[in-house]
Amino acid sequence: MKKALITGVTGQDGAYLSELLLGKGYEVKGITRDGSDIRTTNLSYLGILNDIELIQADLLDLSNLLRVIKDTAPDEIYNLAAQSSVGLSFQQPIGTLEFNIISTANLLEAIRSIKPETKFYNASSSEMYGRLRPENLPVTEETVLHPVSPYSISKASAHWITINYREAYDLYAVCGILFNHESALRGENFVTKKILEGALRISKGMLDKITLGNLSISRDWGYAPEYIKAMWLMLQQETPDDYIICSGQANTLENFTKKVFAENRVDYDKHVEFSEKLYRPVDLEIIYGDNSKAKKNLDWKYDISFDELIKKLVEDESKFFEWKQSKGVN
C-alpha cells in the first residue's frame, strides 16, 4: 500500500486529493496546523474524515517536520498548504512570504535528509506569471515569471526552490501550475465562492446583495476535481517535470457572475453592487494557459466548457449548502 502525506489536507484541493488517493488504495495522512480551529468540513462532506490520519505539525519548524517524515515514511508528499489569498497577501505580506516559502523549503529539506526517494508535488500558481501582454498568451511552461503580489512572489520562490532541489539533489520534485479551479469546497476568501454562495442565498431570500470589486478581469477557470487528477498523474511519471493545468479559455469575472446569477434565476442588476475598496493594489487583467503538455505527457483530459462549469458549480454549491444546513455547519 502506498503512503501519501498531504499538507493543506482540509482545504478544497486537499479534500478532493484525499478522496482520489483513498479510492486508489493509498494510506493517507494529512498535516494540519496546530490549534483547535481546524475545519474538517470538506473532509466530512466527502465522507472521508475517518479514513485519514490528521497530524498537527508546524511547517515552519524543520525539526518537527524531520520527525514527521521519519515517522510517516511517505512515498508521496503533496504540498498544498499555503496562505492562498492574493488580496490578503497585500494586507499580510510578511506572513505570506514567510509561510509559503519556508514551509516548502522545510519539506524539501526534510525529504532530502530523511527519505530522498519520496516523490514531492508542489502547488505552484498561475499568479506567478503576472501581467502579460496579449501577444504573450497563452501561458506555457516556458513563459517567464513576473509576479506582482506578495502571494505570487511567494509562490514563484517556492516554485524555484522545488526546481532547485530537483536539479541540485536529484529529488523527484515537481510543480503543478494550476490555474483557477473551483468547486463548492472553495475557501470563503475567494471571490468565486462569494459569488456562488451569495447568488444561492439571494435566491432563497436569505441575502439581499453582494458587493464586488473589479469585474473586468479575465481568468482561466476550471473544475477542481478534474484538476486534482493531474496532481497524482505528475507523480506517476518516469521523469519529474512541471506542468500547467488549465482549461485554456479565458472569461471575465463579470461573465462568471452573470452566468451564476442567471443559473440561480436571480436578477444580477438588482442584487450586485460595486466598491472600489475591493480592488487590489495590483491585479492581472487577463491570463489563460496552454494545457497541451499535460494532455500529451500525462494523458490528462479536460473537456468541460465554461457553461458546463457554471452549471456544475451552481449544482454543487446547492448540494453543499443543503448538507451544511442539515448538519448545522456554518
pLDDT of residue 37: 55
Tens digit of each residue's pLDDT (9 = 90 or more) over 94-153: 999 999 999 999 999 999 999 999 999 999 999 999 989 889 999 999 999 999 999 999
What positions carry a catalytic annotation? 125, 127, 151
The answer as to whether 298 is a domain residue is no
The pLDDT score that the predictor gives to residue 113 is: 98
One domain, residues 165 and 209: no
pLDDT score of 148 = 93
Contact between 79 and 104 under an 8 Å Cβ cutoff? The reply is: yes
Whether 138 and 204 map to the same domain: the answer is no
User: Which pLDDT score is estimated for 84?
Assistant: 83
Q: DSSP label at 144?
A: P
Note whether 135 and 201 are same-domain residues: no
Are residues 114 and 197 located together in one domain of the fold? no
DSSP character at residue 59: T
Query: What's the CATH number where 32 sits?
Result: 3.40.50.720
> Domain for residue 268, yes or no?
yes
Low-confidence ranges of the chain (pLDDT < 70): 34-38, 279-280, 282
What's the rounded Cα separation, in Å, for the pair 95 and 150? 10
Give the pLDDT score at 88: 86
Contacts of residue 299, Cβ cutoff 8 Å, sequence gap at least 6: 233
Q: Can you give the residue range of the structural domain that contains 195?
A: 187-219+249-286+307-327
User: Structure pTM?
Assistant: 0.95
Q: Residue 299: its pLDDT value, please?
A: 97
d(Cα 26, Cα 211) in Å, to the nearest integer? 43
Pair (194, 204) in one structural domain = yes
| Alpha carbon distance 76, 241 (integer Å) | 15
Q: What is the pLDDT of residue 282?
A: 61
* Same domain flag for 41 and 170: yes
CB 264 within 8 A of CB 199: yes
Cis peptide before 138 (omega within 30 of 0): yes
Residues 102 and 209 grouped into a single domain = no
Q: What end-to-end distance do the CA atoms of the chain give, in Å?
A: 36
